[in-house]
Amino acid sequence: MDIKDLLVFTTVAEEKNISKAAKSLSYVQSNVTMRIQQLEAELGTQLFERSGKGVTLTSSGELLHRYAEQILRLTNEATIAVQSSAHTPIGPLKIGATESTAALRLPPLLSTYCTAYPDVDFILETHTTDVLIQLVLTRKLEGAFVAGSCDHPDLNSLFTQDEELVLVSRHPLPSLYSLNDMNLLAFSSGCAYRHTLEMLLTKEAVFPKRILEFGTIEAIIGCVKAGMGVAVMMKSIVSHHDHSLTLTPLPLPYRKVPTFFITRKDAFVSAALREFSSLLIEQLCITKP
C-alpha cells in the first residue's frame, strides 16, 4: 500500500466513479481501474461494489477510507511542516549550556524566544563545558553556551559576555594562600571555572587539602555556608543566592571568563537555530552598549 494508492482510492471513493476520479487526478481511466484492482488484490478484499452506474464502497472499503483520510492528512501536514522548517522555526531545537548559564543568563532569552516561536520544542541540556563541546561536535546539540574561548576548527563561536569569577567563602580570605589546607568545593572535572582555578593554584603553588566534587550550584553554596570549604563561582550567581558569604575576586588574568555560544561550522542550520542565534545577537546589542 502506498500514499499514491490511497489518494487514488479516496478520490474514487468520493467521486463514486472511476472515470471521473481519473479525470480529476489527470490519469487515464484504465490506470485508476488497475490501481484499485491491485489495491484490492494486495489487501485481499473487495473495496468497491461495481454496479454499472459507478462504484460504491463496501464496508471493507469504508474501513480503509477512514484510515486513508487520516494517513493523507498526516502526510500533507508532514510535508508542509518539514518544508517550512527550513524557513520558519518549527520542530525540535536542542541547545546546551553550563549550569551557571542555564540558571542565570538563559531564562530571559528563552522566554522571549518561546513566545516568538511557539512551534519550536526547545530542549535544554546542561553539562560541563567539555561535554558540551563534544556534544556539539558530534551533532547531538545544535549549539551550546560554554565557558572559555574555544577555537576548534570545526566550531563557530560567538562571544556573549564576560563572567566574573570569585572565591566564595564563609569568612574573608586574606590572600590566595589562605586556601592552603582548605577544602575546595567544585563542579565535576569538566567545569571550565574549576579548570581556571586549578591553573591559577598550580601557578601560585597553592595546594588545597582536597577537592570535593558536586553536581549542582545549590549543593556547593550550601556547603560553603556550612563552612566546609571554599568554592569558585560566577559572581552574579552567588549574589543572587546569598549575601552572607564573602566574595573574593580572583587575580586579574583569571578573573574574567568569557561565555561563548558555539555551533558546528558545517552542520545543517535549522530555521529554529537561525532565529535563536539572531535573537541572541540582538539581545547582546541591547544589553552591551
Residues within the interface to a second copy (CB under 8 A)? 1-4, 43-47, 49, 51, 56, 58-60, 62-64, 67-68, 70-71, 74-75, 77-79, 81-83, 85-86, 90-94, 138-140, 142, 267-268, 270, 272-273
Nearer to a second copy, 135 or 200 (CB): 135
Helix axes 3-15, 18-25, angle to 10 degrees: 130
Q: Say whether 227 sits in a helix, a strand or coil.
A: coil
Least distance (Å) between residue 57 CB and a second copy: 9
The DSSP call for residue 176 is G
Nearer to DNA, 54 or 148 (CB): 54
Nearer to DNA, 12 or 132 (CB): 12
Least distance (Å) between residue 264 CB and a second copy: 9
Q: With contact defined as beta carbons under 8 Å apart, do 135 and 264 qualify?
A: no
* From DNA, a second copy, none, interface partner of 270 (C-beta below 5 to 8 A by class): a second copy
Least distance (Å) between residue 31 CB and DNA: 3
Least distance (Å) between residue 154 CB and a second copy: 10
* From DNA, a second copy, none, interface partner of 19 (C-beta below 5 to 8 A by class): DNA
The DSSP call for residue 182 is S
**Helix (DSSP H) and strand (DSSP E) numbers for the chain:** 12, 11
Nearest Cα neighbor of 45 from 32, 25, 59 is 59
Least distance (Å) between residue 69 CB and DNA: 20
Q: Say whether 281 sits in a helix, a strand or coil.
A: helix
Residues that bind DNA (CB under 7 A): 2, 4, 17-20, 26-31, 33-38, 50-55
Helix axes 192-204, 129-137, angle to 10 degrees: 130
Nearer to DNA, 50 or 152 (CB): 50
* From a second copy, DNA, none, interface partner of 20 (C-beta below 5 to 8 A by class): DNA
| H/E stretch holding 262 | strand 256-264
* From a second copy, DNA, none, interface partner of 191 (C-beta below 5 to 8 A by class): none
Least distance (Å) between residue 35 CB and DNA: 6
**248/169 Cα distance (integer angstroms):** 8
**270/141 Cα distance (integer angstroms):** 12
- Sign of dihedral through CA atoms 51, 57, 58, 61? positive
Nearer to DNA, 51 or 244 (CB): 51
Least distance (Å) between residue 142 CB and DNA: 17
Q: How many CB atoms lie within 10 A of CB 37?
A: 12
Question: Between the CA of residue 113 and those of 8, 279, 280, what are the distances in Å?
Answer: 42, 7, 9
Nearer to a second copy, 26 or 138 (CB): 138
Nearer to DNA, 55 or 232 (CB): 55
